[in-house]
């Protein structure tokens, strides 16, 4: 319980730090930057999509544009938005996993074992995403990228666990969303490194 509160508090702090660092834009400049940033979102998602066969352009564009602050920020800000979305989704997925595990009538014993594994993976993943945000804010892009990759691997391991047991995964949508959001953030981090 203390660990969950600690993660939620850190997420809250990072969000407001992000607002301060990247969105302190004078009122008269907001309308000018909004169009630029929507173009930046689309261009960034297209660039990332061209680099990877698993990257989903539509998911990237829709996810980033859904958050109002992303329409008035820069490339660093988009990376933070993607990581914050990944953290929110991972935290929600962890809650879903815990609820499924509490439901003793759900699924086969093999599925219960898979859920237990996913519980561990997502518990670690939430902490890892907090570390990724912290590393990014410190300018440690290599570390941030490594943490994001680790979370992506965790979502894949969670999903494949059900397939290995020939069980239907109840977490396919959640695993996909967290994977894609981390991939968006990772691609942006790599773009920032290549332009440094």
Q: How far apart are CA 39 and CA 73, in angstroms?
A: 11
pLDDT tens, position by position, 36-87: 467 899 999 999 999 999 999 999 999 999 988 777 789 999 999 999 999 9
Q: How far apart are CA 158 and CA 154, in angstroms?
A: 6
CATH (residue range 34-194): 1.20.140.40
User: Tell me, what's the pLDDT at 107?
Assistant: 60
Domain positions in the chain: 34-194
| CA distances for 32 relative to 27, 76, 159, angstroms | 10, 18, 43
pTM for the structure as a whole: 0.82
Out of 35-39, 95-99, 121-125, least confident range = 35-39
Contact 51, 28 (CB under 8 A): no
131-180: pLDDT as tens digits: 999 999 999 999 999 999 999 999 999 999 998 888 889 999 999 999 99
């Amino acid at each position: 319980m203390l660990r969950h509160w600690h993660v939620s508090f850190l997420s809250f702090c990072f969000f407001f730090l992000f607002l301060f660092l990247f969105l302190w834009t004078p009122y008269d400049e907001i309308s000018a930057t909004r169009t630029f940033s929507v173009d930046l979102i689309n261009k960034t998602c297209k660039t990332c999509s061209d680099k990877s066969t698993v990257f989903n352009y539509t998911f990237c564009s829709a996810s980033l544009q859904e958050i109002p602050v992303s329409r008035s920020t820069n490339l660093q800000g988009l990376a933070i938005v993607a990581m914050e979305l990944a953290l929110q989704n991972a935290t929600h997925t962890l809650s879903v996993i815990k609820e499924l595990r509490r439901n003793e009538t759900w699924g086969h014993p093999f599925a219960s074992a898979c859920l237990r594994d996913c519980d561990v993976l997502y518990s670690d993943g939430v902490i890892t995403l907090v570390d990724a945000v912290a590393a990014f804010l410190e300018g440690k892009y290599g570390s941030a990228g490594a943490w994001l990759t680790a979370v992506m691997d965790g979502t894949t391991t969670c999903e494949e666990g059900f397939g290995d047991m020939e069980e239907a995964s109840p977490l396919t949508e959640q695993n996909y969303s967290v994977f894609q959001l981390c991939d968006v953030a990772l691609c942006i981090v790599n773009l920032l490194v290549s332009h440094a």
